[in-house]
Amino acid sequence: MDIIGLATSISASAISIDLGRKGFATRGKAEEGRISYENGKDTLNSLNNAIQGFDDAFLVLDIVEDATLYHIADKAIPHHKDHRINGLPKDSFHIACGSHKTRIKNILRSPGIDSIEKALLKQRLANLTTAQNSYIEKQKKAMEI
């Protein structure tokens, strides 16, 4: 699966999980703390940030396909280790994946998660790691490493 297809699949999964979680809450299978997590202002802000982050990640997918453009991007991103992953630029794709991994880990720590949802969240976490590794291969190709 290509990166755009994988990212689209991840987005669709996120929406499905959110809808499923709301279904659990309405059927009384989630604890009160879990229900309040779903309806909190912070959750809505976090999901809006996730959408914006992946919108930015989709933009860089076009750039990494063009070696000339990506060399320019490489020069624009600091070469300090905090801004690099395996020596490659930590661009918006990596930032979106990292932020979403943190978001998923936080959800996994919240109370009242059903075992089915927990398994889905763990799979999403693994999918993000796979997407990031595939993206690193695209970066290496663009940088001719």
- Provide the residue range defining the domain that includes 12: 3-143
CA nearest to 113, candidates 12, 37, 13: 37
Rg (the chain; Cα; Å) = 17
The number of folded domains in the chain is: 1
DSSP alpha helices (H): ranges in the chain?
3-26, 32-39, 41-64, 67-76, 92-109, 115-143
| pLDDT tens profile 13-59 | 777 777 666 555 555 544 554 555 556 787 788 888 889 999 999 99
pLDDT at 7: 72
Does the global pTM surpass 0.75?
A: no
